[in-house]
């Protein structure tokens, strides 16, 4: 007797298809919050200002990665390296 085909739940399908990408962007966002919290000037903002600054950094980093991705083929390792270097450059500009 055949077993009935059980359709995966929406949560399972989303996790399989997008889980790694979501984890990647969550780490990028966490890194942006970390950069804001250790920055001499941005860390003195109120919590909403810090959140806004981290979100702005996240958007800029994602935009930069999208622009770079259009012209080159990247591996996840290269994307992590680019995002780390970009976050460092923003730190230097803000601290100047």
Residue 88 CA to its chain's centroid (Å) = 14
Q: Give the pLDDT mean for 32-52.
A: 96
How do the domains of the chain map onto residue ranges?
46-96
Closest CA to 64 of 81, 40, 42, 41: 81
CA distance 66 to 53: 20
pTM for the model: 0.63
Tens of pLDDT along 64-91? 888 876 766 667 777 788 778 877 887 7
With a cut of 80, say whether residue 63 has pLDDT above it. yes
For residue 61, give every residue at least 6 positions away whose Cβ sits within 8 Å of its Cβ, in sequence order, or none: 28, 32, 83, 86, 87
């Amino acid at each position: 007797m055949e077993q009935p085909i059980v359709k995966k739940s929406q949560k399972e399908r989303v996790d399989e298809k997008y889980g790694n990408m979501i984890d990647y962007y969550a780490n990028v966002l966490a890194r942006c919050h970390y950069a804001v919290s250790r920055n001499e000037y941005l860390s003195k903002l109120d919590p909403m200002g810090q959140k806004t600054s981290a979100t702005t950094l996240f958007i800029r980093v994602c935009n930069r990665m999208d622009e770079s991705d259009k012209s080159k083929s990247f591996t996840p390792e290269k994307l992590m390296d680019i995002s780390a270097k970009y976050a460092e450059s923003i730190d230097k500009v803000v601290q100047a």
